A and B are shown apart, each in its own frame.
Chain A
Amino acid sequence: MDIQLKKGLLEICVLKILEQQDSYGYQIIKDLSNIIQISESTLYPILKRLEINQYLTVYTSEHNGRLRKYFSITDNGKQRIKHFLKEWEELIKIYHFIKEGQYD
């Protein structure tokens, strides 16, 4: 898959996971690995970018005597998912056109 496309998709996937419940780095990777291949070093910049764009917020919570960084989706993040889905409806139209040469 195209790297840029994958990055974009991963961002939305992370947001979708966080929409279900707050989560932390390792758990996000575990959840994602069911649908899309991702490594720790790929996730880090994605989380940072989402934070910078205010799609998520960060808080820490103690776990087994150390701090665990939790990520929580913002309203902006939820909007981002909606926007993505809308965009893809258009893309699917284009996909069908490319595949079958038909207009809806």
Chain B
Amino acid sequence: MTKQEFISIIRSRCSSLDTYELEEAISYYEEIINERLEAGEKEEDIIASFGNIDQIVSDLYANIPLKKIIQKKYREKQFKPWMIILLILGIPLFIIILPIFIVFTIFFSLFITFLAIFCIFGIAWQGFALIVSLISLNFIDSLFHFGVILIFVGLLSYSNDRKYTVKKPNIFSKIKQKLSRKGGY
């Protein structure tokens, strides 16, 4: 086994060690290997003299406080019990809220769509009025119509904002996303 192989095995077998602990251990073995290489020993002989790699790995784990390992495992894998309880308690509430949410979403998207259509017509109407007032040299009126156009343009761009253009209730895709992320662990 070469030095690189040895180190990569340690690295992969001790991956649930604290990063600092792992790097410290690796640098210790690296230093020992380098010293012995300088003393004229062969790379393979040095690694072989370390003995069983399982023993080295278990020594590294034995050395750190148990609490630290458990904490790390807990962070990685534990699906906390209180989360399950919360989930169960939340289901009735969820069933009540879901239809309301869907209806609200549909109405809101309809409202936004109508608002957009209304704005387009408004712009056309006020644009026409603006041209008429410009032709009749009534600049005060033109200024007014121009202002109203700006208001419609503002409303239109607001209703076209991506947050509000709800084509379909996308709550399902969001749930799907969440579930698939949970499944990933």
A-side residues, CB < 8 A to B, are 24-26, 29, 39-42, 44-45, 47-49, 64, 66-69
Find A48's partner among B31, B38, B55, B63 (CB 8 Å cutoff).
Answer: B63
**What A residues does B8 contact at CB under 8 A?**
none
Complex contact B63–A41 (CB within 8 A): no
Instruction: Report whether over half of chain A's contact residues are helix, strand or loop; otherwise say mixed.
Output: helix
Residues of B within 8 A of A (CB): 25, 27-29, 31-32, 34-36, 38-39, 49-51, 55-56, 59-60, 62-63
Residues of B within 8 A of A68 (CB): 31, 35
**Which residues of A lie under 8 Å from residue B31 when comparing CB positions?**
24-26, 66-69
Q: How far apart are A90's CB and chain B's nearest CB, in angstroms? A: 30
Q: CB-CB < 8 A to B55: which residues of A?
A: 41
- State whether A26 touches B50 (Cβ < 8 A): no
Please state if B50 and A41 are interface contacts (CB–CB under 8 Å). Answer: yes
A26 in contact with B36 (CB, 8 Å): yes
Name A69's closest neighbour in chain B (CB-CB): B31
Residue from the list B28, B35, B38, B51 in contact with A44, Cβ < 8 A: B28
Q: Closest 8 CB pairs between A and B?
A: A26-B35, A45-B63, A41-B56, A40-B32, A41-B59, A44-B28, A26-B32, A25-B32
| Pairs across A and B, CB under 8 Å, 27 listed | A24-B31, A25-B31, A25-B32, A26-B31, A26-B32, A29-B32, A39-B50, A39-B51, A40-B29, A40-B32, A40-B50, A41-B50, A41-B51, A41-B55, A41-B56, A42-B59, A44-B25, A44-B28, A44-B29, A44-B60, A44-B63, A45-B62, A45-B63, A47-B28, A66-B34, A68-B31, A69-B31
Q: Say whether B35 contacts A25, CB under 8 Å.
A: yes
Q: How far is the CA of A15 from the CA of B174 in the complex (A)?
A: 60
Q: How far is the CA of A74 from the CA of B130 in the complex (A)?
A: 89
Considering the complex, give the chain A residue whose CB is closest to the CB of B36.
A26
Instruction: Tell me how far the C-beta of A63 lies from the nearest C-beta in chain B, rounded to whole angstroms.
Output: 9
- Taking the closest CB of chain A, its distance from the CB of B69, in whole angstroms, is 15
Closest chain-B Cβ to A41's Cβ sits at a distance in Å of 5
17 further contact pairs, Cβ within 8 A, besides A40-B29, A68-B35: A24-B35, A25-B31, A26-B39, A29-B32, A39-B49, A41-B50, A41-B55, A41-B56, A44-B29, A44-B63, A48-B63, A64-B38, A66-B31, A66-B34, A68-B31, A69-B28, A69-B31
Could you tell me the distance between the alpha carbons of A23 and B39 in the complex, rounded to whole angstroms? 16
